[in-house]
Amino acid sequence: MKEVQIEVAGVIKHFKDVKAVNGIDLTIYKGEFVALLGPNGAGKTTLVEMIEGIQKPDSGEIKLKGMTWAENARKLHQIIGLSLQETRFIEKLRVRETLELFASFYGLGSERVERVLELVNLTEKQKAFTDKLSGGQRQRMALGISLLNEPEILLLDEPTTGLDPNARRELWDILLNLRKRKGTTLILTTHYMEEAAYLCDRIVIMDQGSILAEGTLKQLLSKHVKGEIIDFSIDRPLEKEALPGQQAILNYTFEKETLSGELLVTDIVEFLPDFLLYVQKEKIRIDSLECRKLTLDDLFTSMTGRHINQ
């Protein structure tokens, strides 16, 4: 039996006339890694902050391990770890001193601090002042603080925003290791498709305070998107009506300025030979041609009408 760790039921949160979270139901199980994916203003941070007990829902209920914040705040503080968007540290403190300060809130000693420094790969930087850390080191430090109390549930708000791919991957590895060793449950918010796809078992796509879709990457792609993509650029405009294999075309767009087209077809292997024959017959020059499967990005765009980072 899967053990429920987090239960969000009918949660609504308004800020004046903005419906930041608009009736969300979500059940998360022990050891699950869940990504909340969505554009700016989708309501991800508001939802996470309500789960963290930082904000109160207007209506609905949130339970962590069967407990509510109203009745069990003290206990819940012991079992969750969190890092907020753009964590600020005290500049006049060194890395180790900062961790020791936070550790003291939990009554933890320097042994735990040393362990966490190792975990987030900052032992070498323990004497550095926090304002001298790189972006990746700062994010690892924020993660380290959230890990001090060995939380069963970890909530991370955009933990890798602004990091380069290497630093991002390093943080992912730390999190995956943590799950392997401790069975930690994780919710993270992100703008990065690849982060959700690589790191998380389940992806929850949010927009305008609601959940648009959720599932594993595979489930989302097979349930919500059909077809394969052919991107090409040629030496002249090409109207849809002129194309062969009309029955296989699910969607077609052509940008006249760049002379580039995108075809969504049911099956590339069936469609492409006829397309190439047509191009040859009409003496159209192909400057580029790329075939690919649909991605999470395509799914997101088809659901919200915009790209995730817009």
Burial (CB < 10 A; 0-12, 13-18, 19+), residue 157, is buried
Largest interatomic CA distance in the chain: 78
Q: Which of 2, 3, 10, 15 binds ligand ATP (CB under 6 A)?
A: 15
Could you tell me if 279 and 214 are in contact, meaning their C-beta atoms sit under 8 angstroms apart? no
Q: Which of 26, 34, 305, 39 is nearest to 192 (CA)?
A: 39
Size of the site for ligand ATP (CB under 6 A): 12
Which tokens in the block code for residue 289?
């041609």
Angular region, 43: left φ>0, alpha ψ -120 to 50, beta rest:
left
Site string for ligand ATP, 184-203 (x = CB under 6 A): -----x--------------
Residue with smaller CB distance to ligand ATP, 18 or 286:
18
Which residues, other chains included, contact 184 with Cβ-Cβ below 8 Å and sequence gap of 6+? Answer: 31, 151, 152, 153, 154, 175, 178
Q: Which of 20, 35, 220, 234 binds ligand ATP (CB under 6 A)?
A: 20
d(CA 239, CA 152) in angstroms, rounded, equals: 56
Q: Which of 5, 32, 35, 44 binds ligand ATP (CB under 6 A)?
A: 44
251 binds ligand ATP (CB under 6 A): no
The piece of 43-51, 215-223, 270-278, 288-296 that touches ligand ATP (CB under 6 A) is 43-51
Neighbour tally for 203: CB within 10 Å: 25
Which tokens in the block code for residue 97?
């001193």
- Closest contact distance (angstroms) between CB of 61 and ligand ATP is 19
- Closest contact distance (angstroms) between CB of 41 and ligand ATP is 4
d(CA 35, CA 45) in angstroms, rounded, equals: 12
23 binds ligand ATP (CB under 6 A): no
Residue with smaller CB distance to ligand ATP, 46 or 137:
46
The piece of 37-45, 118-126, 164-172, 268-276 that touches ligand ATP (CB under 6 A) is 37-45
43 binds ligand ATP (CB under 6 A): yes
Residue type (1 letter), 70: A
42 binds ligand ATP (CB under 6 A): yes
Chain positions 261 to 290 lying near ligand ATP, rule: CB under 6 A, are none
Burial (CB < 10 A; 0-12, 13-18, 19+), residue 252, is middle
- Closest contact distance (angstroms) between CB of 38 and ligand ATP is 5
d(CA 189, CA 196) in angstroms, rounded, equals: 9
41 binds ligand ATP (CB under 6 A): yes
Q: Which of 27, 40, 280, 302 binds ligand ATP (CB under 6 A)?
A: 40
Residues lying near ligand ATP in the complex (CB under 6 A) are found at: 15, 18, 20, 38, 40-46, 189
